[in-house]
């Protein structure tokens, strides 16, 4: 891929210039005629640097540049580039919410990617505002917006159905990553049991984002206006991964601004204590938020043609995936502990009875 000929043009007007080698990041920024805003890099071991290129006329971002800082980060950026190119070949109603690759740049001997910028406010911004997560209507609106976006992504990319597969090597990666942990054998066994039950459902393969956190979702007027960071994406993957990742990530930080031992505002059933209490509350607690999370998972599973009573198994598998794949080892270990606590609890009676009676028999309904 070549570098860009920019010269102050809008992103929609950019064309690729023929060149054997990409421009350096800073040469590209200077030539663009746009203003640069460097976003702080994360503290994970394989961080990337994000540069937004902003129009001096409108004040809106036109381009986003992502450059890697390590070899592993380079692999991730390449994977994201390939995923975005693949999505660009599909006619989607949500095309404007997905960055489009327009070129590449060089940064300290590594290749970064240049994409169009998507607009909106990160969901994490509203999430962190005072009392947002205590308000049932606002939180419900967040889940509804993501659900609408997932419906369009999954419907527009649905392919051949296959057994619902939430392992795909996750058990092996857990065993390798936590080989020194006395709990790992039982954890892998519990994961295998959950994934075995999930395989009784058949769902279509669809495009998958793979890391649908609140910080990767942009909103405008209550609608998802952009979704970024497609490094963990798959053109034909397991769509249930996105359902559970969003729900888990949303629940994980409910108690972040509450002191230990106190109840979380708006969630009388959630008291701050053990790390991951918000997820435990969402899966096993009582209240409007647990009802919302379970309803979101059940609705998504039903839409995909799966057994909706398997929502808890799907959530457990999603937690295990996060422990296995997160780039930060310090973050991974408490997630494993969370999985072990939740996996050791019995399946809710109503879901076990429904599954055993066949009340939610699997179908092959389109998404």
Cβ neighbourhood burial of 4 (10 Å; 0-12, 13-18, 19+): buried
For residue 56, how many C-alpha atoms fall within 13 Å in the half-sphere facing its CB? 8
Give me 152's structure tokens: 């369009």
329-348 mean pLDDT: 90
Q: What is the pTM of this model?
A: 0.89
Distance from the first to the final alpha carbon of the chain? 35
Given a cut of 50, whether residue 2 has pLDDT beyond it is no
- At residue 329 the predicted structure's pLDDT band, cuts being 50, 70 and 90, is confident
For residue 199, the 8-state DSSP code is T
Average model confidence (pLDDT) across the chain: 90
User: What is 121-357's CATH superfamily?
Assistant: Aminoglycoside phosphotransferase (APH), C-terminal lobe (3.90.1200.10)
Q: How many CB atoms lie within 10 A of CB 11?
A: 22
For residue 350, what pLDDT band results from cuts at 50, 70 and 90?
A: low
pLDDT at residue 15 tops 50: no
The sign of the dihedral angle between the CA atoms of 18, 19, 22, 24 is: negative
Write b or e for each residue in 133-147: b if 16 or more Cβ atoms lie within 10 A of its Cβ, otherwise e.
beeeebbeebbebbb
Q: What is the pLDDT of residue 47?
A: 85
In this prediction, residue 349 carries a pLDDT of: 57
What's the confidence (pLDDT) of residue 348?
Answer: 61
The predicted-structure confidence for 84-135, as pLDDT tens digits, reads as follows 999 999 989 999 999 999 999 999 999 999 999 999 999 999 999 989 999 9
Q: How confident is the model at residue 297 (pLDDT cuts 50, 70, 90)?
A: very high
Which string of b and e fits 49-72 if b means at least 16 CB within 10 Å? bbbbbbbeeeeebbbbbbbbbeee
The half-sphere exposure of 23 on its side-chain side, counting CA atoms within 13 A, is 18
Residue 218: band (very low, low, confident or very high) from pLDDT cuts 50, 70, 90: very high
What percent of the chain lies above the pLDDT cut of 70? 87
Q: What is the pLDDT of residues 200-214, one digit of tens each?
A: 999 999 999 999 999
pLDDT at 363 over 60: no
The pLDDT confidence band at residue 264, using thresholds 50, 70 and 90, is: very high
Predicted local confidence at residue 327, as pLDDT: 87
pLDDT of residue 356: 52
Sheet holding 110-116, edge to edge: 35-39, 48-54, 61-68, 110-116, 101-107
Enter the tokens of residue 30.
């200077």
pLDDT band per the 50, 70, 90 thresholds, residue 7: very low
Q: Is the pLDDT of residue 360 over 90?
A: no
**Paired residues of 122 in beta bridges:** 218
Q: Which fold has domain 4-116?
A: Phosphorylase Kinase; domain 1 (3.30.200)
Selection from 165, 155, 149, 127 nearest residue 296 by Cα: 149
Looking at residue 309, its pLDDT comes to 97
What does the alpha-carbon distance between residue 187 and residue 342 come to, in Å, rounded to a whole number?
Answer: 10
Which sequence spans correspond to the domains of the chain? Answer: 4-116, 121-357
Give the span between the Cα atoms of 313 and 164, in whole angstroms.
11
Degrees to nearest 5, angle at CA 227 with 163 and 314: 30
Is the pLDDT at 366 greater than 60? The verdict is no
More confident residue, 45 or 39: 39
Residue 205 · residue 225 · CB < 8 Å: no
Distance CA 269, CA 148 (A): 28
């Amino acid at each position: 891929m070549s570098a860009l000929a920019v010269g102050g043009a809008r992103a929609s007007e950019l064309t690729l210039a023929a060149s054997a080698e990409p421009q350096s990041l800073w040469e590209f920024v200077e030539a663009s005629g746009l203003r640069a805003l460097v976003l702080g890099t994360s503290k994970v071991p394989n961080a990337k640097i994000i540069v937004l290129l902003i129009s001096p006329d409108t004040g809106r971002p036109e381009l986003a540049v992502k450059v890697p800082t390590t070899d592993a980060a380079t692999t991730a950026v390449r994977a994201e580039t390939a995923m975005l190119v693949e999505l660009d070949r599909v006619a989607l109603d949500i095309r404007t919410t997905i960055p489009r690759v327009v070129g590449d740049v060089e940064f300290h001997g590594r290749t970064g990617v240049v994409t169009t910028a998507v607009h909106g406010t990160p969901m994490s911004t509203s999430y962190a505002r005072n009392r947002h997560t205590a308000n049932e209507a606002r939180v419900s609106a967040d889940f509804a917006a993501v659900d609408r976006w997932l419906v369009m992504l999954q419907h527009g990319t649905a392919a051949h159905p296959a057994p619902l597969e939430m392992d795909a090597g996750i058990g092996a990666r857990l065993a390798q990553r936590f080989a020194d942990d006395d709990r790992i054998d039982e954890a892998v066994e519990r994961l295998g049991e959950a994934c075995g039950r999930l395989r009784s459902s058949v769902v279509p393969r669809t495009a998958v984002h793979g890391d649908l956190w609140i910080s990767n979702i942009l909103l405008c007027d209550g609608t998802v206006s952009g979704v970024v960071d497609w490094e963990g994406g798959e053109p034909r993957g397991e769509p249930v991964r996105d359902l559970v990742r969003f729900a888990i990530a949303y629940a994980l930080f409910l108690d972040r601004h509450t002191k230990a031992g106190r109840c979380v505002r708006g969630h009388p059933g959630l008291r701050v204590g053990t790390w991951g209490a918000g997820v435990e509350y969402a899966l096993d607690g009582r209240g409007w938020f647990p009802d919302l999370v379970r309803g979101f998972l059940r609705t998504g599973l039903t839409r995909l043609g799966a057994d909706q009573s398997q929502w808890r198994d799907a959530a457990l598998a999603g937690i295990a995936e996060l422990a296995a794949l997160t780039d930060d080892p310090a973050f991974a270990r408490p997630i494993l502990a969370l999985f072990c606590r939740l996996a050791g609890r019995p399946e809710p009676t109503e879901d076990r009875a429904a599954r055993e009676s066949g009340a939610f028999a699997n179908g092959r309904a389109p998404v």
